[in-house]
């Protein structure tokens, strides 16, 4: 018997995939979520909500964790930070723990359909997915031609909160807009990211944003805020003043 196992990332894609699979009567043998320890607070809030939903639907939800601890602690102990060019986080803290759990529970010969939440407008990511021989990777959202907006509609229709994009709060892959949001909404996490970055032995050349330190970016944000809030009243209107 082939098992349908879902690799759950706690984001919009995998959430919508699970909802549609369940509502369409597609067998779900187990949902596996790997806890990296440094997701956004909004993600952990959503996880509580979603686990309750899974329990009501009779779905098996399992949380696993890397023996290395959290991503923050692992990199911090080595005095390095994650870089875009060396993407080890997903492999070390998600793929390996999930694979170990599956091996220990199901063995190495049980055929498994590994269901991956990749939306139709992100299908180029499919080519990067690799795994052991017992896995047959499936991409239901691509097969159903459901993009990210379609995922959001599915989640809202189910009555669940729409999760934020999953990822560590100090992820080097996030755009500057995400760092700005982190500063505005979770200053304590932004400050922790600064300390995390400074702890890296390659600092200040080695940074999470790539071309600017988080300290410098914070100063820029403060200057921008000062201009838009305090100094804007001093700017003369071209019509009223000469």
Tell me what pLDDT residue 132 has: 83
- How many of the other CB atoms lie within 10 Å of CB of 70? 16
pLDDT band at 88 (very low <50, low <70, confident <90, very high): confident
pLDDT band at 233 (very low <50, low <70, confident <90, very high): very low
Q: Considering the entire predicted model, what is its pTM?
A: 0.89
Q: Higher model confidence: residue 110 or residue 229? A: 110
| Cα(176)–Cα(125) distance, integer angstroms | 22
**Residue listed under structure tokens 């699970």:** 18
3-state secondary structure at position 65: strand
pLDDT band at 44 (very low <50, low <70, confident <90, very high): very high
Write down the domain spans for the chain.
Answer: 3-158, 176-234
| Cα(111)–Cα(181) distance, integer angstroms | 43
For domain 3-158, give its CATH number from 3.40.50.10710, 3.40.50.620, 3.30.1280.10, 3.40.50.10540.
3.40.50.620
3-state secondary structure at position 14: helix
pLDDT band at 236 (very low <50, low <70, confident <90, very high): very low
Strands 3-8 and 112-116, how do they pair?
parallel
3-state secondary structure at position 40: coil
pLDDT band at 48 (very low <50, low <70, confident <90, very high): very high
Q: Assess whether pLDDT exceeds 60 at residue 240.
A: no
Q: Which of 152, 204, 168, 139 is nearest to 35 (CA)?
A: 168
């Amino acid at each position: 018997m082939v098992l349908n196992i879902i690799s759950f990332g706690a984001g919009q894609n995998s959430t919508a995939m699970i909802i549609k699979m369940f509502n369409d009567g597609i067998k779900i043998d187990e949902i596996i979520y790997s806890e990296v320890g440094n997701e956004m607070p909004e993600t952990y809030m959503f996880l509580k909500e979603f686990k309750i939903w899974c329990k009501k639907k009779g779905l098996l939800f399992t949380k696993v964790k890397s023996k290395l601890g959290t991503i923050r602690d692992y990199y911090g102990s080595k005095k390095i930070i994650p870089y875009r060019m060396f993407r080890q986080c997903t492999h070390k803290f998600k793929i390996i723990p999930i694979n170990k759990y599956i091996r220990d529970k199901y063995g190495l010969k049980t055929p498994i359909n590994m269901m991956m939440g990749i939306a139709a407008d992100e299908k180029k990511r499919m080519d990067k997915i690799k795994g052991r021989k017992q896995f047959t990777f499936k991409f239901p959202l691509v097969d159903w031609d459901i993009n990210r907006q379609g995922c959001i509609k599915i989640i809202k229709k189910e009555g669940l909160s729409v999760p934020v994009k999953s990822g560590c709060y100090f992820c080097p892959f996030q755009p500057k807009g995400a760092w700005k949001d982190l500063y505005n909404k979770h200053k304590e996490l932004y400050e922790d990211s600064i300390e995390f970055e400074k702890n890296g032995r390659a600092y200040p050349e080695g940074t999470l944003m790539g071309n600017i330190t988080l300290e410098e970016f914070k100063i820029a944000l403060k200057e921008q805020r000062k201009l838009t809030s305090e100094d804007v009243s001093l700017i003369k209107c071209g019509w009223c003043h000469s």
